[in-house]
């Protein structure tokens, strides 16, 4: 039985008030003695736990490390990640007939995606453990962030990418930041299987979101959304919609809310409804939510233009499904054309995102049209990656350049 309760006594395995707990059998594991990703007893997911959870008064400074009181360390391998804007999008808000719609643009992190929040902490933990080689499987953004933070920490970085299915900007980042890039003949899920085996053999330290410390960094997205929403509107949002691949962010946001409740900083009924959005061609989480299944059934074949979320086996589903259910949220699948339409709509408001990010807006539109989101709701959509991550998708969704002669009349004739 999955147990995500934080109300447990501090075990002897805790190191300075921090330990890892198995979400299925409750086993406690020392966090920094040995490299560990899953429960040594039952192989289930681990989650970081603390002897105390901070309230709002304990946060100071800016960015991810503003929230160090909620993290295992005071500082990390940092290039000033976090503190991303919460934009209004009045045109889309009007069009959808919503009381309040905002966009948390994680594309404005140093490497252009939310992954930086997980890496600033994950690479710090790697340093603490004394490992030399860091590795991940990736649909692109994780590899870009790991390459960047890994090189900053002086580590070797190995990334496994599904051949031909990663957007150009992401490969360019991993390449220039000096990662060893292996293009695997398989999809993301195959890449993750291979890199997990390399990690189990002790050949590399795994920094996919299976690593519980990645999610600790990512939970700061939730803390920022709540603080920014409160400052802007006086309220926490009713709903947070986000694209889902491995369901790491969904799990991280739910953990953020649980910790605030444990700290007495938020009431349980104030938790925003977690609303996961997947591409129709890669929607195992949506299938599990719609059918009220206890577990996700992995999809072997996946396809979508939103390559970042082209994932059939969301590893964090056991942490994320309870979050969607406990907050009264839901999950919805959107077609690629709906994603592109949402990408254009966001671009029309000055917010440039990659296709996967636009899925959050496309999903809210779909649920609003189906009457599942009320007009009086205050909604935040998470946009996870920058437009320039996938220049080909952006160019395809945008307008064609027109050739003109080098004179003003020629330009005026053409417009
Ligand atoms: N949006 C973007 C832009 C992503 O890159 C990812 C995941 C997601 C959403 C899904 O987030 O896994 O927390 O549900 N990208 C990973 C990668 C898989 O390798 O870059 P999730």
Write down the pLDDT at residue 391. Answer: 98
What pLDDT, in 10s, does the model give residues 222-266? 999 999 999 999 999 999 999 999 999 999 999 999 999 999 999
Of 342, 310, 317, 345, the closest CA to residue 331 belongs to 317
Q: State which ligand 1 atom lies nearest to the alpha carbon of 142.
A: 20
- Which pLDDT belongs to residue 165? 95
Residue-wise pLDDT tens digits, 333-372:
999 999 999 999 999 999 999 999 999 999 999 999 999 9
Contact 120, 81 (CB under 8 A): yes
Does 275 score more than 90 pLDDT?
Answer: yes
247 lines ligand 1 (CB under 6 A): yes
How far does residue 409's CA lie from ligand 1's centre (Å)?
46
pTM of the model: 0.98
353: DSSP letter: B
pLDDT in tens, 168-180: 999 999 999 999 9
Q: What is the mean pLDDT of residues 156-176?
A: 98
What is the three-state SS of 170-230?
Answer: HHHHHHHCCCEEEEECCCHHHHHHHHHHHHHCCCCEECCCCCHHHHHHHCHHHHHHHHHHH
Residue 33 three-state SS: coil
For the segment 187-193, the average pLDDT, to the nearest whole number, is: 96
Confirm if 152 and 77 have CB atoms less than 8 A apart.
Answer: yes
Residue 343 Cβ inside 6 Å of ligand 1? The answer reads no
Confidence class for position 1, pLDDT limits 50, 70, 90: confident
Q: How far is the CA of 245 from the centre of ligand 1 (A)?
A: 5
The pLDDT of residue 28 is 97
- 142 CA distance to ligand 1 centroid (A)? 7
Section 205-219 average pLDDT: 97
The answer on pLDDT for 158 being more than 90 is yes
Q: Give the Å distance between the CA of 249 and the centre of ligand 1.
A: 8
Q: Which atom of ligand 1 is nearest to the CA of 138?
A: 19
Residue 16 predicted with pLDDT over 90: yes
Q: Is 307 in the pocket of ligand 1 (CB under 6 A)?
A: no
Cα atoms found within 13 Å of the Cα of residue 118, Cβ hemisphere only: 29
pLDDT at residue 394 in the model: 98
Q: To test ligand 1's pocket by mutation, which of 139, 191, 306 has the most ligand atoms within 8 angstroms of CB? A: 139
pLDDT of residue 295: 97
The average pLDDT across 386-400 equals: 97
Average pLDDT score over residue span 50-71: 98
Tokens encoding 202:
């002790």
Q: Is 140 in the pocket of ligand 1 (CB under 6 A)?
A: yes
Helices 248-263 and 220-233 meet at what angle, rounded to 10? 70
113 close to ligand 1 (CB < 6 Angstrom): yes
Is the C-beta atom of 313 inside 6 A of ligand 1?
Answer: no
Q: Identify the pLDDT of residue 37.
A: 96
pLDDT more than 90, % of the chain: 100
| Residue 239: strand pairing partners | 273, 379
Query: Cα(310) to centroid of ligand 1, in Å?
Result: 9
Which ligand 1 atom is nearest residue 251's CA?
13
pLDDT of residue 370: 98
Q: Tell me, rounded to whole angstroms, the distance of Cα 368 from its chain centroid.
A: 23
Q: Is 278 in the pocket of ligand 1 (CB under 6 A)?
A: no
Question: 248 CA to middle of ligand 1, Å?
Answer: 8
Q: Which of 215, 244, 309, 321 to mutate to test the pocket of ligand 1 (most atoms within 8 A of CB)?
A: 309
Q: What is the DSSP string of 215-268?
A: HHHHTHHHHHHHHHHHHHHSS--SEEEEE-SSSHHHHHHHHHHHHHHHHTSS-G
Q: Which residue has the tokens 């409804």?
A: 273
Query: Candidates 308, 317, 357: which one to mutate for ligand 1, based on the most atoms within 8 Å of Cβ?
Result: 308
Is the distance from the beta carbon of residue 187 to the nearest atom of ligand 1 less than 6 Å? no
For ligand 1, what atom is nearest to the CA of residue 141? 20
């Amino acid at each position: 039985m999955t147990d995500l309760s934080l109300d447990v006594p501090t075990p002897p395995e805790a190191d300075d008030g921090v330990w890892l707990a198995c979400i299925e059998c409750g086993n406690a594991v020392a966090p920094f003695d040995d490299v560990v990703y899953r429960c040594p007893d039952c192989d289930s997911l681990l989650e970081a736990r603390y002897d105390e959870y901070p309230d709002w008064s304990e946060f100071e400074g800016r960015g991810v490390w503003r929230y160090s009181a909620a993290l295992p360390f005071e500082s990390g391998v940092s290039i000033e990640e976090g503190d991303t804007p919460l934009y209004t999008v009045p045109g889309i808000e009007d069009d959808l007939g919503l009381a309040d719609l905002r966009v948390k643009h994680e594309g404005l992190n140093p490497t252009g995606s939310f992954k930086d929040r997980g890496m600033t902490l994950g690479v710090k933990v790697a340093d603490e453990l004394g490992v030399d080689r860091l590795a991940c499987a990736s649909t692109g953004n994780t590899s870009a962030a790991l390459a960047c933070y890994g090189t900053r920490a002086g580590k070797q970085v190995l990334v496994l990418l599904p051949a031909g299915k990663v957007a150009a900007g992401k490969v360019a980042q991993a390449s220039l930041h000096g990662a060893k890039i292996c293009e695997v003949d398989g999809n993301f899920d195959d890449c993750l299987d291979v890199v997990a085996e390399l990690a189990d053999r002790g050949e590399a330290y795994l920094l996919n979101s299976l690593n519980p410390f990645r999610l600790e960094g990512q939970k700061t997205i939730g803390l920022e959304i709540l603080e920014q929403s409160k400052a802007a509107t006086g309220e926490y949002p009713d709903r947070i919609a986000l694209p889902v691949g491995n369901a790491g962010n969904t799990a991280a946001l739910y953990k953020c809310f649980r910790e605030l409740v444990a700290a007495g900083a938020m009431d349980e009924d104030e938790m925003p409804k977690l609303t996961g959005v997947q591409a129709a061609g890669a929607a195992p989480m949506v299938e599990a939510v719609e059918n009220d299944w206890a577990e996700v059934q992995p999809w072997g074949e996946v396809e979508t233009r939103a390559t970042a979320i082209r994932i059939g086996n969301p590893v964090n589903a056991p942490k994320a499904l309870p979050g969607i259910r406990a907050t009264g949220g839901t999950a919805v699948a959107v077609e690629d054309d709906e994603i592109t339409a949402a990408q254009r709509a966001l671009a029309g408001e000055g917010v440039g995102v990659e296709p996967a990010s636009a899925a959050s807006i496309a999903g809210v539109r779909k649920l609003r049209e189906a009457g599942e989101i009320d007009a009086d709701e205050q909604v935040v959509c998470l946009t996870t990656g920058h437009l320039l991550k996938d220049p080909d998708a952006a160019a395809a969704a945008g307008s064609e350049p027109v050739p003109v002669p080098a004179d003003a009349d020629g330009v005026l004739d053409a417009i």
